[in-house]
C-alpha cells in the first residue's frame, strides 16, 4: 500500500519498507529515497517541522512558554490535543498546495510522469484515503459529545470516533459515505488548494522516485 505525506517544502511517498521524497530548496527540486528506519522517521519530522512558516514557530514557542509560565491561568493540556488534531484546518498555504498535488497524483489513474502533468492537474483533489478522514471522525464525535459531556470525556469520544471510523472503513465502508462526503468537502475547501506547476512536478518526481527505489530494492 502506497501512502503520501505532504509538508511545506514537498511530498513523501512511502510504503512499510521504503520512502521517497521530493522537496523544493531555493526553487530547485531535490529527490532522495531510502529504506524506512528510525533515522528516516526523524528526517521526516525534522523536515515537517522546519518547513512551517515562522509565525507557526512563534506561536508554538509561545504555547510552550505559557505551559511553564502561565499568566492568566493554566492551559489545559487537552487543548493542545485539540490543536494537534485540528492542525489540518490551519495548514499553511504552501503546504495546502503540496497536499493538493499529492492528492492529484494519487487520483490520476495513468502512469505518473511529467509528460502527463496537465492530465494530472485535472485529476480529483479529493483522496478517499486522506488523513482528513480521521480528523473528520474525531471532530464529529468530539463536537457531538461536547454538547453533553465535559472536555476530557469529549476528547475521549473523539478518539473513540477515530477508532470506530477506521473499523468502519475496513468492514462497513457503505456506512461511512456521510463522513466521506464531509471529508471530501473539507479537502476541497480547507485542507488543500489547487497546486501550481512546481507543486505538481514535485509530487510527480517524488512518486517516480518511490517507484524506482521500490523496484530497485525489491
pLDDT bracket for residue 60 (50, 70, 90): very high
* Per-residue confidence (pLDDT) for residue 179, from 0 to 100: 94
How far is the C-alpha of 37 from the C-alpha of 31, rounded, in Å? 18
pLDDT at 158 over 70: yes
Q: Which three cell numbers stand for residue 44?
A: 521526516
87 DSSP 8-state letter: G
pLDDT at 217 over 80: no
Count of beta carbons in the 10 Å neighbourhood of residue 129: 13
Pairing of strands 28-35, 18-25: antiparallel
pLDDT at 67 over 90: no
Check residues 127 and 173 and name the one with the higher pLDDT. 127
* Phi, psi for 134 (deg, rounded to 5): -70, -35
Look over the chain and give the mean of its residue pLDDT values, rounded to a whole number: 93
* Per-residue confidence (pLDDT) for residue 99, from 0 to 100: 97
The 10 Å CB-count burial string (b at 16+, else e) for 99-119 is bbbbbbbbebeeebeeeebee
Mean pLDDT of 3-16: 94
* Per-residue confidence (pLDDT) for residue 214, from 0 to 100: 87
pLDDT at 35 over 70: yes
* Per-residue confidence (pLDDT) for residue 69, from 0 to 100: 79
pLDDT at 71 over 80: no
* Per-residue confidence (pLDDT) for residue 173, from 0 to 100: 85
Mean pLDDT of 124-128: 94
What dihedral do alpha carbons 64, 65, 71, 73 form, nearest 10°?
A: 20
pLDDT bracket for residue 75 (50, 70, 90): confident
Percent of the chain at pLDDT > 90 equals 81
What are the pLDDT digits (tens) for 82-119? 999 999 999 999 999 999 999 999 999 999 999 999 99
Helix, strand, or coil (residue 123): coil
pLDDT at 218 over 70: no
How far is the C-alpha of 62 from the C-alpha of 154, rounded, in Å? 26
What are the pLDDT digits (tens) for 165-191? 999 998 988 889 999 999 999 999 999
Amino acid at each position: 500500500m502506497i501512502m503520501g505525506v505532504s509538508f511545506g517544502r514537498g511530498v513523501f511517498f512511502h510504503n512499510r519498507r521504503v520512502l521517497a521524497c521530493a522537496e523544493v530548496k531555493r526553487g530547485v527540486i531535490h529527490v532522495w529515497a531510502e529504506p524506512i528506519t528510525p533515522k528516516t522517521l526523524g528526517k521526516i519530522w525534522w523536515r515537517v517541522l522546519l518547513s512551517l512558516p515562522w509565525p507557526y514557530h512563534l506561536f508554538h514557542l509561545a504555547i510552550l512558554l505559557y505551559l511553564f509560565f502561565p499568566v492568566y491561568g493554566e492551559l489545559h493540556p487537552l487543548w493542545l490535543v485539540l490543536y494537534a488534531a485540528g492542525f489540518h484546518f490551519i495548514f499553511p498555504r504552501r503546504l495546502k498546495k503540496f497536499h493538493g498535488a499529492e492528492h492529484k497524483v494519487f487520483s490520476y489513474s495513468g502512469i505518473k510522469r511529467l509528460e502527463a502533468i496537465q492530465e494530472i492537474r485535472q485529476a480529483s483533489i479529493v483522496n478517499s484515503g486522506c488523513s482528513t478522514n480521521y480528523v473528520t471522525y474525531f471532530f464529529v464525535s468530539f463536537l457531538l459529545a461536547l454538547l453533553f459531556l465535559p472536555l476530557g470525556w469529549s476528547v475521549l469520544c473523539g478518539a473513540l470516533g477515530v477508532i470506530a471510523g477506521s473499523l468502519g472503513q475496513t468492514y462497513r465502508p457503505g456506512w461511512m459515505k456521510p463522513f466521506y462526503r464531509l471529508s471530501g468537502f473539507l479537502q476541497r475547501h480547507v485542507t488543500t488548494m489547487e497546486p501550481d506547476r512546481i507543486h505538481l512536478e514535485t509530487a510527480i518526481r517524488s512518486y517516480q522516485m518511490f517507484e524506482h527505489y521500490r523496484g530497485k530494492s525489491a
